[in-house]
Amino acid sequence: MKQMNLTILSNECIAEDIYRMVFETGEMLVEKPGQFINIKIDGFFLRRPISISDWTDNTLTIIYKVVGAGTEVMKEMTAGQVLDVLLPLGNGFDIMQSGERPLLVGGGVGVPPMFGVAKELIAAGVKPVVVMGFNEESQIFLAEDFEAIGAEVHIATADGSVGTKGFVTDVVKDLEYTSIFTCGPLPMLRALDSCAPAEIPGWFSFEERMGCGFGACMGCSCKTKYGNKRICKDGPILERGEIIW
């Protein structure tokens, strides 16, 4: 973990209430896909933890949803502004055991970290199957980006406006895959676990209210089969076999 002052290169709306912010980093700051950054915003006491979507040796991209007062301020930020950021945080996804046909499932604002996973897999010569779930067409983002890097993309919308009508599990039940990497709302993670064959390995990214984001305050602890874990430091990614649903 480092504390950095990062300059915003761009901050744009890419779907309903969804924004993409790109920072200039000057160096490679991310270790694994699925890690997150914790941003200090003037006027707010605690930082805002946001997952990393993409990165290069000179940039870092986050995609966030406007859900409260902090993200309301973030969406108004412009290129050139400098933000105090702690990063990289969290354990990240380990793609080593993906097998030849990994399944990447993102629900809503859980989609962004899946992009980093897809890029890593493709760089390793593995083509992932991506399933994205949204409520409706206006909320869809990143689908073209996944296709552009060569992933197989499936979309589920609750209202049926695009792709399969229903939830991600309505798509996943007809697919064959060797592993699961996922991030999204808790009910989605739970449903995925229920529908996936028991022998399939999986890595599930969890969201929780955090204090510090780096393991000091115990604000985001959860119980696992391997003992108590801090979502921010020992997670946010838990291995399927250790999760207590």
Partner 1 sequence: MVDMKVNLCGIKMDNPVMAASGTFGYGKEFAELYDINMLGSFSFKGTTLEPRFGNPLPRIAECEAGLINSIGLQNPGVDDVIAKELPELAKIFNKPVMANVGGSSVETYAEVSGKIDKCEQVGWIEVNVSCPNVHDGGMAFGTDPGVVQEVTEAVKANTTKPVIIKLSPNVTDIVSIAQAAERGGADGVSLINTMLGMGINLKTGKPVIANKMGGFSGPAIFPVAVRMVYQVYEGTGLPIVGIGGIQTAENVIEMMMAGATAIQVGAANLVDPYTCKNIIEQLPAVMDKYGIDSLSSIIGGAH
Verify binding: residue 215, partner 1, rule CB under 8 A.
yes
Cβ closest to partner 1, residue 132 vs residue 232: 232
CB of 203 to partner 1, least distance (A): 21
* Residue pointed to by tokens 């744009």: 12
Q: Please tell me whether residue 217 binds partner 1 under the rule CB under 8 A.
A: yes
Rounded CA-CA distance 2/76 in Å is 25
Q: Does 210 bind partner 1 (CB under 8 A)?
A: yes
Q: Which of 26, 56, 218, 225 binds partner 1 (CB under 8 A)?
A: 218
47 binds partner 1 per the rule CB under 8 A: yes
Both structure tokens of 5:
């002052």
Least distance CB 62 / partner 1 (angstroms):
19
> Does residue 4 belong to the site contacting partner 1 (CB under 8 A)?
no
- Least Å distance, CB 215 to partner 1, is 5
CB of 84 to partner 1, least distance (A): 8
**Measured CA distances, 92 to 105, 134, 158, 228 (Å):** 15, 23, 29, 18
Q: Per rule CB under 8 A, is residue 187 in the interface with partner 1?
A: no
Q: Does 220 bind partner 1 (CB under 8 A)?
A: yes
The residue from 8, 9, 46, 162 that contacts partner 1 (CB under 8 A) is 46
Span from 12-20, 38-46, 75-83, 108-116 in contact with partner 1 (CB under 8 A): 38-46
Contact map string, positions 65 to 104, toward partner 1, x by CB under 8 A: ---------------------x------------------
Q: Using CB under 8 A as the criterion, which residues of the chain lie in contact with partner 1 when the complex forms?
A: 1-3, 40, 44-47, 86, 208-212, 214-223, 228, 233
